[in-house]
Amino acid sequence: MTNIILAVIFTAALCAPLHAQQKRVKSEESLFLDLHKTGLGSLNELDEKRKFIETIKLEKQKIQGTMLNNVYENAFEYYKRGNYEDAKDLAAKILSIDPNNQDAQMLLEASNQLRGSLRPGMSEKLMIEDRFKNALSYYTEGRIVEAHAKMQEVVKLSPNNIKAKYWLAKMKDDLKEYYFEQGAADYKARDLKGSLDNFYNALLIKPKDGLTIEWITRVEDELRQQKANDRLKEALEYYAQGKLLAAYQGLRSALEVQPGDSKAGKLLGEVKTEIENGFVAAGKKLYGARRYPEAIGEWDKAKPYTSNMAYLNNLISRARQQMKLESDEKRRRAEEAARRAREEEERRAKEEEDRRKAEAEAKRKGMTIEEVAKKPAGVSEENKAAAQTHYLEGLKYFQNSNYDEARNEWTKAKQLDPTNADTAAGLKRIEQILAGGQ
């Protein structure tokens, strides 16, 4: 954050007009207050603050070029007025932010020369003439790039120098030809990237040159095809190794570079089918093992590669239905087991109660339990009612062809009321059916 604040201070100080530079610059504390007013103070979350700082950094990068240009204009204004010390200082500050700024480097060297640190007594006219001669010397030697750069410096330092402008224009044409020839030579040597860089340099000099544009188009097409072929080759190697997902990504990458590559497009379709089939087969195996959620997971993985989404959705729907059916069946069995357990508990409790009553009756009559049991006794109304309930329950099972459950119910009914003729008839009918009779 401190670097950003200092950049703001530096911008405010250096970009101001020369006649206003004596005005006091805001303190860092006041700038912090201004940032709070714009919303920084309300950013409580760490991620939000980081995003804010990143935004400031991006904005700083966007405006840095403009800012340095403004600073350079001020520095050059000092230079024109003969204030080489201040021009040197501003140029040095520009280089501290952008060490590759060639204009600032040029102005720093010129200011150093003219303020007497390198060649005492040198005038601006002599310095310009010296640089002009150096540029012509480079040009005569065929060092066109260096000659153009040096002559460009002369024109920048002396904008009204007609002779320098003439030679710069001439060198500019030669420089365009130089880059064009370099591009053609690199192309012949199959250095496509180097060739493209040189052709673009030529285009920067003559932006509307049709032949240069034609060459750039050709080289870019070949470079894309080369890149696509490299990625296709890598994808084929993955495919041969059975690494289908890596092959799929490689083929997609190749098609992003060269969308019309029919070979890559066809192979991509085949790879997608194989990937889908693999996920589908794995899902069916898990389905067969009743591992339904995992099966659904495999079928979901197949979706990015399928051309038949309805089929996958049908498999997933079937698995979910089966999960529900088995869950319902499991719950039904648990409820049935609990019901039978309750009935068994009730039956045992009833038998225990009957046993205690029999013991008490035998004791009251001075008889043994066996003697009391041999004595015929009538059926109580309570037992008759319970027997009728069991009979009706058994009748439901019988009507649903569940003969085992029907027999269980009617057997209980007979024990409670041996005189019930319907119960006896029902049991007899079940025996006939189970024995194969009608």
Write out pLDDT tens, residues 19-28.
444 333 334 3
Q: How far apart are CA 211 and CA 246, in angstroms?
A: 41
Which residue range forms the structural domain that includes residue 40? Answer: 2-206
* Other beta carbons within 10 Å of 175: 22
Domain identity same for 387 and 409: yes
pLDDT of the residue at 126: 87
Residue after which a domain boundary falls, among 355, 377, 399 = 377
Residue after which a domain boundary falls, among 277, 307, 337 = 307
Phi/psi at 55 (5° precision):
-65, -40
Quick one: average pLDDT of 222-243?
A: 87
pLDDT of the residue at 33: 42
Looking at the structure of the chain, the number of domains it has is: 4
CB-count burial class (<10 Å; 0-12, 13-18, 19+) for 117: exposed
pLDDT of the residue at 370: 67
pLDDT at 50 over 80: no
Contacts from 89-95 at CB under 8 Å and sequence distance 24+? 90/14, 93/10, 93/14, 94/68
Point out the least confidently predicted range of 163-172, 337-346, 357-366. 357-366
Domain identity same for 57 and 185: yes
Domain identity same for 78 and 212: no
CB 250 within 8 A of CB 263: no
Most confident of 145-159, 228-242, 286-300, 344-358: 286-300
pLDDT at 3 over 70: no
pLDDT of the residue at 91: 83
Name which of 260, 264, 227, 261 is nearest 249 in CA terms. Answer: 264
pLDDT of the residue at 377: 55
- Three-state DSSP class for 23? coil
Quick one: average pLDDT of 40-68?
A: 67
Q: How far apart are CA 126 and CA 113, in angstroms?
A: 11
Q: Please report, for residues 22, 48, 87, 290, the alpha-carbon distance to residue 71 in angstroms, rounded to integers and kept in the order given.
A: 15, 33, 10, 75
Quick one: average pLDDT of 397-422?
A: 88
Instruction: Name the pTM for this structure.
Output: 0.42
Domain identity same for 416 and 350: no
Q: Where are the alpha helices (DSSP H) in 258-291?
A: 262-288
Supply 135's token pair. Answer: 């540029």
Domain identity same for 342 and 226: no
Buried b vs exposed e over 11-36: b needs ≥16 C-beta within 10 Å? Answer: beebbeeeeeeeeeeeeeeebeeebe
**Of 165 and 16, the one with more pLDDT:** 165
Give the CATH number of the domain where residue 250 resides: 1.25.40.10
Q: How far apart are CA 216 and CA 197, in angstroms?
A: 9
Domain identity same for 44 and 108: yes
Half-sphere exposure of 37 (CA within 13 A, CB side): 6
pLDDT of the residue at 297: 95
Domain identity same for 238 and 148: no
* Portion of the chain with pLDDT greater than 70, in percent: 83
Domain identity same for 152 and 264: no
Quick one: average pLDDT of 244-250?
A: 89
Quick one: average pLDDT of 93-112?
A: 84
pLDDT of the residue at 27: 43
Domain identity same for 248 and 288: yes
Angle between helices 192-205 and 210-240 (to 10 degrees): 150
pLDDT of the residue at 122: 57
Name which of 358, 384, 360, 352 is nearest 373 in CA terms. Answer: 358
Most confident of 175-184, 187-196, 316-325: 316-325
> Residue holding tokens 């030529």?
202
| Positive/negative CA dihedral, 292, 296, 298, 302 | positive
> Residue holding tokens 């060092």?
143
**Of 436 and 250, the one with more pLDDT:** 250
pLDDT at 204 over 70: yes
Quick one: average pLDDT of 46-73?
A: 74
Domain identity same for 41 and 152: yes
Domain identity same for 112 and 149: yes
Helix (H) / strand (E) element for 317: namely: helix 309-365
Residue after which a domain boundary falls, among 307, 336, 364 = 307
pLDDT of the residue at 24: 36
Domain identity same for 245 and 330: no
